Amino acid sequence: MPEITEAVRTSGLVKRFGQQVAVGNVDLVVPRGGFAGLVGPNGAGKTTTLSMVTGLLRPDEGTIHIDGIDVWRDQVAVKSRIGVLPEGLRLFERLSGRELLSYNGQLRGIPRDEVLRRSGELLEIMGLTEAADKLVVDYSTGMRKKIGLAAALLHNPAVLFLDEPFEGVDPVSANTLVEVLRRYTASGSTVVFSSHVMELVERLCDWVSVMNRGRIVAQGPLDEVRAGRGLNEAFLALVGARDGEGTSGQEGLSWLGTTPR
């Protein structure tokens, strides 16, 4: 059995889409409490991994344990323990923000008064009170992320999984999200999120897992992974971008920047 100090542990996780191996033998480990970042270039398998961990996608091989419970064996126990904000942010578009929260609360069997209280506070802290009775379909990206996070937090989960929570979010909303998440982790809960924004990962996380081409290439406490460098530099070195793309493109662009007149 996995040690109980781990919030998430996967072993030998594999997912193939036809010929393509999206996730190949991933052993993701996240300690309990605080922020854990899952970073990697586009197509590294972050979303696929998070989907399998949160029970939205069935893995081809491997096991996943959250708080020591097998995700695909005891779904009732796991699903009441986790909160999820998948990528793409498809919400129930024709409900208002407030209705979305009460729908979630009712679906999860939280008492009505408790749902009202919690959703009122969540809407307030997310700055969504004014927009609470507008349909989600008319929300901006930042508002969608905030209402999505509010819905994921409503049942006070032990572990929260967020896929690109800060993508396309304005700095003000991002700040709100970070503040809410900080309060959430302060009491010992765990946030696992994937991101491209290295500064944010560096600022928030105490644990980092780096994925590339469907594998974990580095994993551990932030300081261990970056080994004295900036996280961005360490990341580029880990995914091997230095020798490949991006640096030696000067020769082919001689016309760029010259004005014809």
Partner 1 sequence: MAGHDPEVSTTPNAVPDPAPPGVPPVPPLTPPSTRAGAPAGAFAGAPAAARVSPMVFVRLKLRLVAGNLRGSTQRRLGFVFTVLAAIVVAAFGFMTMAGLRFVPPGLAVDAVTVLFTFLLVGWVIVPLMMFGLDDTVDPSRLSLFPLRTGRLATGMFAASITGVWPAATLVVTSGAVAGLADGIGEVLLGAVAVLLHFALCVVLSRLATTALSGVLRSRRGRDVLAISAIFVVLAAQVPNLLLNGGMSTDPEVLLGAMASMLRWTPSGLAAHAVAGGGLVAVTGIVVLAALVAVVGWLWIAALRRALVTPDASTEGAAVRDSGGLSARFLPYGPLAAVVGKELKYARRDPRGRVGWFAAVAVAGIMAFSINNNDDGGAGGIGLALAPACLGAAMIAIQGCNAFGIDGRSLWMNTVVYGSDRDWRVDIAGRHLAVTVIAVPLLVLLSVVAALLAGDVLWAVPAVITAWGVLGVGLGVGALTSVLLPYTVPERLNAFTGAAPGQGGIAFLASFGALIGTGLLSLPILVPMALGHLWVCALAVPYGVLLSWGARRVAGKVAFARYPALLEATSAAT
Identity (one letter) of the amino acid at 5?
T
Residue 203: CB minimum distance to partner 1, A: 28
Residue 216: CB minimum distance to partner 1, A: 23
Binding footprint of partner 1 on the chain (CB under 8 A): 54-58, 74-80, 82, 84, 86, 88, 90-96, 98-99, 102-104, 106-109, 111-112, 133-135, 137-138, 140, 151, 260-261
Two structure tokens written together for 241: 């971008």
Residue-by-residue DSSP string for 239-259: TTTTTSSSSS-SGGGTTTT--
Closer by beta carbon to partner 1, 54 or else 209 = 54
Question: Rounded to whole angstroms, what are the CA distances from 168 to 88, 128, 141, 159, 164?
Answer: 11, 17, 6, 24, 9
Closer by beta carbon to partner 1, 132 or else 200 = 132
Residue 232: CB minimum distance to partner 1, A: 31
Q: How far apart are CA 209 and CA 218, in angstroms?
A: 6
CB 46 within 8 Å of CB 163: yes
Two structure tokens written together for 35: 């922020």
Cα distance from N-terminal residue to C-terminal residue, the chain: 72
Residue 94: CB minimum distance to partner 1, A: 4
CB 30 within 8 Å of CB 43: no
Closer by beta carbon to partner 1, 82 or else 201 = 82
Closer by beta carbon to partner 1, 44 or else 131 = 131
Residue 260: CB minimum distance to partner 1, A: 4
Closer by beta carbon to partner 1, 10 or else 54 = 54
Residue 17: CB minimum distance to partner 1, A: 10
Please, what's the largest Cα pairwise distance for the chain? 72
Closer by beta carbon to partner 1, 63 or else 92 = 92
Query: By three-state DSSP, how is residue 54 classified?
Result: coil
- The structure tokens 């904000």 sit at 85
Closer by beta carbon to partner 1, 93 or else 224 = 93
- The structure tokens 């009505």 sit at 112
Q: How many Cβ atoms are within 10 Å of 180's Cβ, its own excluded?
A: 17
Residue 135: CB minimum distance to partner 1, A: 5
